[in-house]
Structure 1
Amino acid sequence: MKAIWNSKYDSKEYQYGLEPNEFLKKTLTQMAVGRLLVPAAGEGRDAVFAAQVAWEVHAFDSSATAQGKANKLAGERSVNLHYECIDAASVRYPLESFDAIALIYFHQMPEERRKFHQQCIKWLKPGGKIILEGFHKNQLGQKSGGPKEWDMLFDEEELNQDFTGLHIEYLEEKECILNEGPLHQGKAYVIDLVATKPLS
């Protein structure tokens, strides 16, 4: 898998563009700044944006090529990232150490996904938020991006189950037009979620 992603990112062009995901941008800018985790951060568009608006950003990705491009972008925009090259099954953070976790187009097989989403809940501080945008199961067959396996796509029921114990503030399936670099272009079916960890 690392080799596949390193190959995808092995281009001067940023494969998902330089601008942040719109849903993440909108949500983050409505929150008080704090400590943010960006799993599967790729070439850094979301992590760098968050750092630009004063978040302390921690990020990881399994692709060393992506990490290099993210650090380059951060340098060009004069911000600092705490970016590790590591896979989701191996990464470790202290419990209750993040104010927000941004899961933007991070798709895994169901068992891995459920475990990782539960781990994210443990990493959240009380009052912290999960911000998620990913491809809905209706995306299967579309050419605008995303996994080609139905099991790796999201629906409302799965996300409700994954984030049991959190307060679901927002959960919506929608059709949209993506314009996020070469790999996310055209009509798409996505799902957005904001969920908050209870204070007690």
Structure 2
Amino acid sequence: MKAIWNSRYDSKEYQYGVEPNQFFKKQLQKLSIGRLLVPAAGEGRDAVFAAQIGWEVHAFDSSDTAQGKANKLAGEKSVNLHYECIDAASVRYPFESFDAIALVYFHQNPEERRKFHQQCIKWLKPGGKIILEGFHKNQMGLNSGGPKDLNMLFDLDELNEDFTGLTKEYSKVKETLLNEGPLHQGKAYVIDFLASKSLV
């Protein structure tokens, strides 16, 4: 899998662009600045944006090629990232250490996804937020991005189950037009999802 992603990112061009995902940007700007985790951070577009507006950003990806491009982008924007090259099954953080976790187009097989989402809940501080956008199962057959395996696409029932224990603040399935670098272009079906951890 690492070789696949390294190959995908092996280009001077940023495959998903350098501008942040719009749902992530909108939700993050509503929050008080704190400590953010960006799993599967890729070439760094979301992580770098967050750092630019003052967040302490921790990020990881299994691709060292992506890590290099993210650090390059961070340098160009004069910000710092705490970016590790590691896979999601191996990464470890202290419990209750993040004010927000951004899951932007991070698709896994169902068993891995459920385990990782439950881990994210443990990493959130009380009051912390999950900000998620990903491809809905209706994305199958479209060429605007995302896995070609239906089981790796999202639906709301699965996300609600994955994040049991959090307060759901917003969730919507929508048809949209993506314009996020060469690999996210055109008509798409996505889920926007926002949830928070109880203060108690």
Normalising to structure 2: TM-score of the pair? 1.00
Which residues in structure 2 correspond to 1:56-135 (within 5 Å)? 56-135=56-135
Question: Per-residue deviation at 1:9?
Answer: 0.1
Matched with 1:2 is: 2
Would you identify which runs of 4 or more consecutive aligned residues in structure 1 move more than 3 Å?
A: none
Aligned CA-pair RMSD:
0.3
Q: Residues of 2 paired with 1:143 and 1:25: CA distance?
A: 24
Question: Per-residue deviation at 1:66?
Answer: 0.1
Aligned residues: 200
Question: Per-residue deviation at 1:82?
Answer: 0.1
Question: Per-residue deviation at 1:125?
Answer: 0.2
Q: Is 2:65 aligned against 1:50?
A: no
Q: Residues of 1 paired with 2:110 and 2:164: CA distance?
A: 16
Q: Residues of 2 paired with 1:88 and 1:70: CA distance?
A: 18
Which amino acid in 2 is paired with 1:183? L
Question: Per-residue deviation at 1:177?
Answer: 0.2
Normalising to structure 1: TM-score of the pair? 1.00
Question: Per-residue deviation at 1:165?
Answer: 0.2
Q: Which structure 2 residue ranges, 5 or more long, are not aligned?
A: none
Question: Per-residue deviation at 1:116?
Answer: 0.1
Q: What percent identity do the matched residue pairs reach? A: 81
Q: Which structure 1 residue ranges, 5 or more long, are not aligned?
A: none
Q: Secondary structure at the match of 2:24?
A: helix
Which amino acid in 1 is paired with 2:170? Y
Q: Residues of 1 paired with 2:114 and 2:3: CA distance?
A: 24
